[in-house]
Structure 1
Amino acid sequence: MIYLFFAHFSLGVILFFLINWIGRHSFSMGYMEITLFIKDEEAPAINYLIRVLSPIVYIIIVSSILYLLNLDEYVYNIYFVNIYYISFRLFFNIITERGPLLNWSKQIIYWVSIILLSYLIYDKIIRHRENVLPDFTTIANELWIIILVFIFQIVNGVKLSNDGQVRRKENYLTYKYSHFKKKFGTIISENTKNDALEITAYSILIYEDFNRPLVARWVEYLTFFLTRKKHSLGVMQFPTDKLVNDQQSVDLGTKKLREKFDFILKEIEENPEVDYPEYKIEQDIIWHYNGGSRYYTEIMELSSSIRSEFYSNSKEYLLPLTE
């Protein structure tokens, strides 16, 4: 039955990437991604339903397609698809070091719900070929749907506290800042020569590391070796056509920030009549490193958190304070 294992495991991995894609494109539906920044969970009911019911709907649809193709043998114990999906998600969160950001008690509730519902749906519906498609022939079914929608709308109006989420993300930020300061602090300090620019450097470093964890960077190195084309490499994701390690990427990345900062300062010196506010300097430096309004916004939010947490006594900004 090894072929059944590989088929179900592959379907579980596909489900993992499919749900991640749904998450990135479903903010209007209330789905909450795991991001580095704090967002209120304003639609807990939808969030729970998407996380728990999506895998259930997935195996029902897959089973229907398999039955249609007369591949009934692949439907046997298809609830294991969702067990493999959960296992792969757990493995992914561990190797990408996102565990500290997770509410593990909530994740366990999600996973137990998924496994129990998956088995129940398989045992009562999916395993019987004639029961895969829902039966809406009776008025009782329709009535219960209306009642459930009504209850759902009430529950979905509840706004949950994000205190635990705030605490986990603050701990994550503290850990990452301390880790990078110990590992690259000398390089960053020597290259930036300014507290405000140093904060920006740490913000970019933490953000890039979060979105390009070690495993993803290994894939980028492999792609670079195979194609020999320009890639963003290292922990600071410095774009280059040469092989660089994490330390070199931080060195090159922070020098790039400082060069842009020096260029702006020279422009201000040569054109004193031009108004160049602090936020515009920050924006130009960040956009020079990696363009995009979302990237700029998130780096600025992260910079604000880092300044308040680790640089509260610093009075150094990109521009000198004036009376």
Structure 2
Amino acid sequence: MYPIIGHHIFLFLLGILLFFTVNFIGKYSKGFGYAEIKFDIHSDELVGFNFILRILTPVVFTILVSSVLFYFKWDYLVTNIYLLVAYSFVFRALWNLAHNRTKLINWYAQIGYASIAIAATYLAYKYLILPKTPLFPDLETIANELWIIIFLFLYKIFNEIKFEPRFKKKRVDSYIENRLSVFKNKYENIIDVTIDKELKNFKNKANSYLIDQKNLENFKFLRHTSLMPFDCIFKFFIKDIIFSIMINEDFNRPFIFRKLEKILCKVSGKRYTQGIMQVSSTIPLSDEESIKLAIHKIFEDAYNCFLEETVYLSESLLVTYIGRNYNPCDDYISSVDDIYNIIKNEKSGELQIFINDHTLIGLDSSFNLE
């Protein structure tokens, strides 16, 4: 029994290696960066690429591993080696469950890919691997290699088939709405309290800055087009930014990984990004503590952005500025912006910051210039 169990453990480890191999190929074929699954509604469209990646990669991987095992005379390890593909898809499902990505995944497609990949690998196992068929073409049967040309031609045609992106968009929207609902129920109270505190400090700094200006043309202040109190609109905006970053960070660092980072920080004393907002710290942080620190940083970045700009600052530019200061990776900024545009409150879009505008239009009474 134990040799059988040991063999299946070996196959499961190979399945994990296959999982990361497929992810590596997919990641660098599409230029992904920070996240392993990007909020890109067009990623389901490349039918041919997905077919090759999900189905033929396991077959090629299994054949190559078998060849290595045969070379070292470890033939006994090749027994039922096609099962590594099944274990790979099992691990993929567990990985997505651990990352709270169930609503993002097209499970029908995954089951279809798994079924075809396992069947294709089994056929390769039975007709190529067990008979130890040479991997390289026989010059006497070179005509058979014409099938490679035919296959490439069919692949080119197949890859022109594109699924309607609305199906992926529906899954992305459902995932984001679900995470937003969960996080609002859990963290909205602490977010509101912290924002109120930081907003008060923000306005005090802005007041001090305005009062210190000696020349009217050097005045810098904030206003918005709808002439509503700045607090109301800016608070909505900041909350939307926080939840956007939170959803993106949770996507990349789910609960289990955050707990591990906290333990590693406590044991080693080294700096780790921690909590649901992934704030860098040398001391262990809870999710709530990371939220407070993140909000403080976001307000600091927003204030610095106001001082740096010279004419006009739109909502989208401010989102990009805050996102880039939080994490400079382009993929990260793009994901935060995508999430923000899905969840944002309609009032956030009314936020427009004008600097050196002498009319004082829209400047609410909370900014004391006297």
* TM-based fold match above 0.5: yes
Match of 1:133 among 122, 135, 147: 135
Q: Which amino acid aligns with 1:304?
A: N
State the partner residue of 2:147: 144
For 1:112 and 1:40, the matched residues in 2 are separated by 21
Partner of 2:311: 275
Judged with a 3 Å threshold, the aligned counterparts in structure 2 of structure 1 residues 144 and 276 are, in CA distance, closer, same or farther, namely: same
1:70 alignment partner, SS class: coil
Equivalent pair of 1:38/1:165 in contact (CA under 8 Å): yes
Describe the shift of the 1:34–1:295 C-alpha distance in structure 2 as closer, same or farther (beyond 3 A). closer
Aligned residues: 312
Partner of 1:238: 279
Q: Is the 8 A contact 1:196 1:318 kept in 2?
A: no
SS of the aligned residue for 2:103 comes to helix
Would you say the 8 A contact 1:261–1:285 is kept in 2? yes
Provide structure 2 residue ranges, at least 5 long, that are not aligned to the other structure: 197-234, 355-359, 363-370
Counterpart CA distance in 1 for 2:116 and 2:136 is 21
C-alpha contact (below 8 Å) 2:55/2:116 kept by paired residues? yes
The correspondence of residues 118-197 of structure 1 with structure 2, limited to 5 A, is 118-129=121-132, 131-137=133-139, 138-192=141-195, 194-197=235-238
SS of 2:68's equivalent?
helix
What is the Cα-based RMSD across aligned positions, in Å? 2.4
CA distance in 2, matches of 1:202, 1:6: 40
Q: Rg bigger for which structure?
A: 2
**TM-score, structure 2 length as denominator?**
0.78
The aligned counterpart of 2:346 is: 312
Equivalent residue for 1:291, pick from 299, 314, 328 = 328
Greater mean deviation of Cα atoms: 293-302 or 275-284: 275-284
**Secondary structure of 1:244's aligned partner:** coil
Mapped to 1, the partners of 2:349 and 2:150 lie a distance apart of 59
Q: Which amino acid aligns with 1:60?
A: I
CA-to-partner distance for each residue in 1:137-161, whole Å, 9 max, x for gaps?
3143122222222222111111211
Which digits, 9 at most, give the CA deviation of each residue in 1:164-221, with x for residues without a partner?
2111111111111111111111222333351112111111000000011122212212
Alignment of 1:40-55 (within 5 A): 40-55=43-58
- Give the aligned residue type for 1:277: L
Q: Which runs of 4+ in 1 moved over 4 A?
A: 313-316, 320-323
CA separation in 2, counterparts of 1:78 and 1:168?
34
- Separation in 1, partners of 2:148, 2:300: 62
Corresponding residue number in structure 2 for 1:11: 14
Mapped contact 2:272–2:282 kept (Cα < 8 A) = yes
The code of the aligned residue for 1:9 comes to: F
Q: Structure with the greater relative contact order (CA < 8 A, sep ≥ 6): 1 or 2?
A: 2
- Contact 2:236/2:347 (CA < 8 Å) preserved in 1? no
| 2:261 corresponds to 1:258 | no
Q: Percent identity?
A: 32
Aligned to 1:300: 337
Cα distance in structure 2, aligned partners of 1:139 and 1:240: 62
**Structure 2 CA distance for partners of 1:90 and 1:40, relative to 1, 3 Å:** closer
**3-state DSSP class of the match of 2:273?**
strand
Distance 1:314 1:13, change over 3 A: closer
Does residue 226 (structure 1) correspond to residue 226 (structure 2)? The answer is no
8 A contact 1:234–1:246 mirrored in 2: yes
Deviation at 1:120, TM superposition (A): 1.1
Deviation per CA, 1:89-114, whole angstroms, max 9, x where unpaired? 11111121111111111111000011
What one-letter code is carried by the residue in structure 1 that aligns with 2:115? V
User: Partner of 2:353: helix, strand, or coil?
Assistant: coil
User: For residues 109 and 88 of structure 1, what CA distance do their matches in structure 2 show?
Assistant: 16
| Structure 1, unpaired ranges of 5+ | none
Aligned equivalents of 2:13 and 2:286: distance in 1? 33
| Partners of 2:301 and 2:150 in 1: CA distance | 60
Distance 1:322 1:109, change over 3 A: farther
> Contact (CA 8 Å) 1:195, 1:316: kept in 2 or not?
no
Number of the residue aligned with 2:115: 112
Cα displacement string for residues 256-287 of structure 1 (whole angstroms, at most 9, x for unaligned residues): 2123223444x27xx8xx22422443333222
